[in-house]
Amino acid sequence: MYYKSFVLNKSKYLVSIAGPTAVGKTAAAIELAKYYNTEIVSADSRQFYQEMSIGTAKPSAEELAAVPHHFIGSHSIKQNFNVGDFERDGLAKLNELFSYHDVVLMAGGSGLYVKAITDGFDNLPDIDPSVRQSLNETFAQEGIDVLQNRLQQVDPEYFETVDKNNPQRIIRALEVFESTGKPFSSFHKGASKQRKFNIIKIILDLPREELYERINKRVDLMMQTGLLEEVKQLLPYRSLNALNTVGYSEVFDYTDGTTDLNTAFELIKQNTRRFAKRQLTWFRKDKDNKWFHPSDTEGMKTYIDNFIAANG
């Protein structure tokens, strides 16, 4: 599977393993990476950050040691690292990895970030800083509800899939609309960019009750392994966009004294379940996705091998 030098071309294959949070992407991707003797690029927009581990359910030290991973703890929360940056840096990393691998794995549930690598985006317009400042001031003074309502009015399509508790995502969509008069979702409908490699898209899913139970158990484990302590250490940085996300926002409310700890963790479970539902809505839109139970890695191997045989 290894080559010392290779001009990037269509004999290379990126296998994207995506799906809702807690479905089992990490375990499946590691097994596949071992089978193909390759490496994993993460497309989880929260696991990029060094300071966020427990609340983002990063792979364990043992999992990270099992096969090489990229974009896990690669950035600080103090850095501005957006989906455009990931498209640029992720493609550069793939270019490097494909110089000595025929197959590379990508794993993650952040739909925008997966799409950035597999399909690319239309070029987004430059934003007047005053528009962004105005929206940030609205968020600070009036809260996220006002922004949510505005986005629902001007871009109901994106509103259905966005993480509604993430002000960074909502503000980004609104600033594009305010600057162009066009909904943010309209910039995601252009023709896919040509990639210099084949793309195999796999989505993992479970029956809803089983997925929700896995989510609940994961949040319980986060509480037991020190999420509260992790959040307390991040209090000085709570205004940073990276921390405006499920698992952190709810615990910040507890540290503010606006809720009790049990309620905070129940809200994490509830908001994570809602997020998983939106992730599935996003992934169902792409008809190229092939759906698997996370335990069916043998079926995934057969599907990938057959795809390579048919296109090689």
Is 59 annotated as ligand-binding? no
What are the distances in angstroms from CA 299 to CA 17, 19, 132, 292?
13, 16, 46, 8
**Alpha-carbon distance values, 187 to 7, 165, 280 (Å):** 31, 22, 21
DSSP designation for 4: S
Q: Is 26 annotated as a binding residue?
A: yes
Is 23 assigned to a binding site?
yes
- Residue 21 assigned as binding residue: yes
Instruction: Please give the single-letter amino acid code of residue 51.
Output: E
DSSP state of 105: E
Separation of alpha carbons 212 and 217, rounded Å: 9
- Is 22 labelled a binding residue? yes
19 appears as a binding residue in the annotation: yes
What secondary structure does DSSP assign to 43-68, as a single string?
Answer: --TTTTBTT--TTTTPPPHHHHHHS-
Distances in Å between the Cα of 6 and the Cα atoms of 11, 90, 95, 98 are 10, 18, 10, 8
What residue numbers does the annotated binding site for substrate cover? 21-26
What residue numbers does the annotated binding site for ATP cover? 19-26
What residue numbers does the annotated binding site cover? 19-26
